[in-house]
Structures are given as C-alpha cells and as structure tokens.
Structure 1
Amino acid sequence: MQRRAFLQLTAGLVVSSVLIGRAPGLLAKGHAKEVLDEKRFHASRRFVQTSFGRIAYVERGSGEAALFLHGFPLNGFQWRGALDRLSPYRRCIAPDFMGLGYTEVAQGQSVAPDAQVTMLIALLDALGIASVDLVGNDSGGAVAQLFVTRHPERVRTLLLTNCDTEHESPPAAMQPVIALSHKGKFVDQWLAPWLADKTLARSPQGIGGMCFANPADPTDEAIDCYFRPLLSSPRRKALVHAYAIALEHNPLQDIGPALRQCKVPTRIVWGVDDTIFSLAGAEYLDKTLGHSLGVRRLANAKLFYPEERPEVIAEEARKLWGIAA
C-alpha cells in the first residue's frame, strides 16, 4: 500500500474510529461485549511451555494474528484497550516479555532483546501462527525492529509507537535505571514505592508523570498488574534488573541497512510530548524504513499513550490492515 492509498483510507475511518474509541464496550458491529479489565485479563491469561520458560500471554479474537509488544516495566495489560477494539478483526495476542509480567523464565535464560525475538518465534510456532501484524511500544518497539528485520516473512505489517531507535537506544532516561539495576536496587528503590503509594506512582516523580499524559494514569489496577509480579521474589527482581542491563549496549546498533531493505508496510504513530524518546526517532524511522507509510504526530501523548488512547492504535491498525469501517 503506497502513502496516497493509505491516506485515502483515513477519511472513511475517522468517524467510526472515534465512535469505537468512545464506546469501548461495543464491538465494531454494535454487539455488546465485556471490557477487558484487570480481573478478566488475569482470568484470560494462558501459558505456553517453551525452552525459554512458560510464556504468559492473553489472546482475544480469531482469524489472522496480531502480536502486541509492550514496554518496560509493563506487560501485556498495556494493550487491553487495543485488544478490546481490534479483536473483531484479528486474533490479538499480547505476550509478557521474559523478565516482565507473568512469564516464568527458565533458569539461566537470557532476557536480552535478541533472546526475546527468538522466544516470540517459539511462541508463534507453538500457537501455529505463520505470520502476524506486529505492534510495538518502547523497548517492545526495539524488539519489533529486530523481529521484522530478521524474520520479515513472518510480518505482514508493522505499527510502531514511541520506542528505541538506532541512535537513541537506550535513551538517556534509562541510564539511572540501568545504573541502579547493576547494583540490584532499581526494583526496590523505584517500583516498590510506586506499588505501595499509587499517588506517588502517578506524580511527576513517578511513572505517571514520566510516561503518561493523564494525571489519573496509570490506574490502581494497572500499577498492581505491572509491579506486583516483579516484586514477588528475589529472582523476579533480578530478572527485571537483567532486562534493563541488557539494554545498556545498543541492541539496535547498525540495524539501519536492514531497516532500509525492509519491505513490510510500516506506520509510525508518535506521542510528541514524550520526554523519554525524541521526535527525531520517528523521523529517523520514517526516512530509514524501506516501506514507511509516514508518521502521525500525536499531541498530548507521552511514551505509554497506547494504554491511554487505544482508540488511536485501533484506528491506525485498521487503516494499516486495510479494514474499512
């Protein structure tokens, strides 16, 4: 799909996407359904046994698959709103990366981005999925870039939101996280206080002020869902630290030539108020990717806007997938 054809789809989808965004309890065809809140998300969680461990994921919908890759230190719950809106069109799968969420990592297993890509291939193979529409945010966007350049035959389309790029991986904001992780202190000094005091978590000094535009976010249930498993044992804390440390040496180094050769149709949707990743990252991806369909600059949106504004993800995904209203 070329840019002109892509843009022509926009007008016909805007009204319907707004309606869907404002009525998350309805399917596109108007059928009532249950919203995927924390209780239902936990109840929906499944596990696949692999050599990497027991990989946790939530699945919704049927048909061709879409794979949603979350950010750090979140898990698949980040995508609940997108899954609600897109499950009428795709078999939506939101896994938890190794080291985060509810995935149970095998002893001695690396949780670096390279290993995450290989784990995702194993997960898809176990689920009998040949190819996916890939959606990524934050460090999940870095994994998505590695995935699409190493396994292009398994990706139909790519939707990237604010994330690492070759020249901003890791971002400067990750340096204190990495430094504390080397000391084994990040989880106890940052995540534990946020879990104990959710107002602090939503403050300018917390993950809310850093990564969310709405001062009411993240919700209490989201904070519990994200951080409680990471504090559940010394080993879980160590895995979180290993995940952060693995980002220290740029996992996207020299990926540029492979991105230029990539023929997968890609759309970039970037929150312009992000203080973690600069807008230059979106412009780099647009200029570098071999089949970019352009950048949408999203006002009043920070790093984790896909959680706050899932209607935008749904709108852009449907256009990218060629699904008319």
Structure 2
Amino acid sequence: MTETGSPELWRDARLGTAHEVRLPKGAIRYHEAGEGPVLVFVHGYLVNANIWRKLVPLLADRFRCITPDWPLGSHIVPMPRGADLTPPGIAGLIGDLLDVLDLCDVTLIGNDSGGAYSQIAAAERPRRLGRLVLNSCETPWCSWPPGPGGFGLLKAAAGTPLTHHGLYQILRLPSSWRWRNTYGRLAKYPIDRQVMHGYVRPVLTRAAIRFDGRKAIGGVSNDFSRRAAEVLQRRFTKPVLCAWAAEDRVFPLDHGLRYAGKLGTELRTIADSYTYTAEDQPERTAEVLRDWLLRVG
C-alpha cells in the first residue's frame, strides 16, 4: 500500500521509481527501472502500470523500462477537463512523453488497446521510435472495442455519465472480475486482488478519473486503428514484432498472423496465456522480447 493507504494509488515496487512529468496536454505519472536501451510500455483500458509489474524485473537488468499510467480509467492523476483523449489524442500523449523525456531509439510495447494506441503513435510520430512490439492487440480485422466478450457495451455506455457510472458498479463485487465481459477473457489466471483494486477503484470512486476513462472509451473506433495499420504497412520501416497469446480470446491468433504477414514481420506466440501475457506468462513474454530485441539490435 502507499503511505496514504489508498488501494488505487498503490504501484508495485518492482516497477521502479515513480515520477510525474508535465506534458503539453496534462500530467502523466510513470515508473522507471533499469538502464540501457529504452522500452516504453503502453497498457490498455482500465488497467495501469501494474500490468507490467511481473515483466519489468525480468528485463530491467539490460533495459531501461518506463511504465506510464495512461489516462484510461485506472490512473492516478486526472487530465485537464478539455484534454483530447480520442485515440489520436492518447497517441499524441505517447509522442509528447518521448519528446519531453528526450527518449530516442525507443522500443514501444503496446498490449490490448495499448497496442492500437501504439500503432497510431508509430504511424503519426515515428521519429523517436526504433522498434515496435504489438502484444496481443487490435489488428485491421478487429473491432475497437473488440467484439469477443461484449466489450462494445463499454463504448455504448459511455454515451452518458449515468450509464457509464452505472455499468461499472458490478466491479464492486470481486466475483465479477473473472466474468467474460470484464477481465475473464483478458487474463487466463486470476489477477492479484490488490492489483485489481488499483484497476477498478478509480473508476468507481473518483469522478475526475471516471470522466477521463469515459472520454477515452467513448472515442475509440476501428477506423483509427485501420488507418494506422495502412500507414505502418506503407511507410514504417523499423523492426516490428507481433508477440501474441497462443490462447487469446479477444484478439484471435489468426488475425495476428495475418497482420504480421501484412507488416512483413514475424509473430511469436506465448503459450498458456490470454491477452495479458505479462500477467499470465511474464517469463515467456520476457524471453520473447529479450531474444528479439537482442537480435534486431
């Protein structure tokens, strides 16, 4: 727990030192561990940096791991009321973070909808990127929100503050966390209760965080991810890895294989895992990343 005792503020010590940086559109908190080539991680909706807590210590001996809390509903610091949290807006935050921290030759690693945001960032602002890792995420053949599991309801409920707030009340019950339309199709194995509280309590208890999350999920569309994919196929010349959960229930493995073919790159599978490979199989995920990163340089 943090010194305040608030579960939503807790971040695993394995993520490293906490920082807060002021970007043109608002403040972002992030953690940093290790030294060496820079890895910047992008999580998806309704999780935070803790999704990487098992993976970072397996990579920090050789890489500088930066794990931000993106404003996707489970973060700590709310964005200004008028901040652009559409997919291009979130992608812009990624680019702004790299600029403000003056990071170069970055490996951008995106999981779940974080992979869609990473694709947009790579398509629109590739200058500071050296490599891109798409880890079980949206492809041109996936809807956003993804269809399997009924996640489209999240966007529909974001139409009004009342429906958005009401939809998430079920998350007060820990038994709901394993349902197919919450986290049950994303993590094969139960996530630690302390981590789960950090994911769900902000959207339940903090109006400003809930407002950010509602803006973010209400603005998603596969139009954005498909346009980014087209740009990446035509113009992105840097190494790309598709690292896919072999048992993904949300982003089908055959979609990942097809996308890897379109991008002219390889796909590596991570066995015994759903979408959250860093949660279900951190050792295998680290092995895949480390082997590829050392090979492509």
TM over 0.5: yes
Q: Which residue of 2 aligns with 1:52?
A: 25
Count of matched residue positions in the alignment of Structure 1 and Structure 2: 282
Cα offset for 1:251? Answer: 1.3
1:273-313: per-residue Cα shift (whole Å, max 9, x none)?
Answer: 222222232023211214x1x11233332122222211122
> After the TM superposition, which residues 185-196 of structure 1 pair with which residues of structure 2 at under 5 Å, given as runs?
185=162, 188-194=165-171, 196=172
Q: Which has the larger radius of gyration?
A: 1
Match of 1:300 in 2: 272
Query: Given the superposition, is the C-alpha separation of residues 192 and 222 from structure 1 closer, same or farther in structure 2, using an over 3 Å criterion?
Result: farther
**After superposition, what is the alpha-carbon deviation per residue over 1:160-213, rounded to whole angstroms, capped at 9, x for unaligned?**
11111122131223311111111335654454332x3223313x3563422111
Alpha-carbon distance in 2 for matches of 1:249, 1:44: 35
Q: State the distance in 2 between where 1:218 and 1:315 align.
A: 21
The SS at the match of 2:155 is: helix
Partner of 1:266: 240
Helix, strand or coil: the match of 1:322?
Answer: helix
Q: What CA deviation, in whole Å up to 9, does each residue of 1:262-281 have, x standing for no partner? A: 22212212113222222232
* Whole-Å separation in 2 of the counterparts to 1:48 and 1:98: 13
Superposition RMSD on alpha carbons, in Å? 2.3
What's 2:95 paired with?
121
Q: Distance in 1 between matches of 2:217 and 2:237?
A: 30
Distance 1:124-1:273 versus aligned 2 partners, 3 A rule = same
For the pair 1:97 / 2:70, whether they are aligned, the reply is: yes
Matched, 1:287 2:264: no
Whether the aligned pair in 2 keeps the contact of 1:46 and 1:58 (CA below 8 Å) is yes
Following the alignment from structure 1 to structure 2, what is the Cα–Cα distance between the partners of residues 245 and 118? 17
1:175 maps to 152
- 1:83-108 deviations in Å (ceiling 9; x for gaps): 11111111100111124312431220
Quick one: which amino acid aligns to residue 236 of structure 2? Answer: C
The alignment status of 1:207 with 2:207, answered yes or no, reads no
5+ residue gaps, structure 2: 1-9
Q: 2:173 aligns with which of 182, 189, 197?
A: 197
Give, as a single letter, the amino acid of the residue that structure 1 aligns with 2:239: P
Bigger shift: residues 262-271 or 229-238: 229-238
Opposite residue 210 of structure 1, the aligned amino acid is R
Which residue of structure 1 lines up, in the alignment, with residue 45 of structure 2?
72
The residue aligned with 1:142 is: 116
Amino acid at match of 1:61: G
Give the match's secondary structure for 2:122. Answer: helix
Change over 3 Å in CA distance of 1:103–1:182 after alignment to 2? same
CA distance in 2, matches of 1:179, 1:302: 25
CA distance in 1, matches of 2:270, 2:14: 27
Amino acid at match of 2:282: P
Structure 1's unaligned 5+ residue stretches are 1-36
Matched, 1:161 2:135: yes
The TM-score normalised by the length of structure 1 is: 0.79
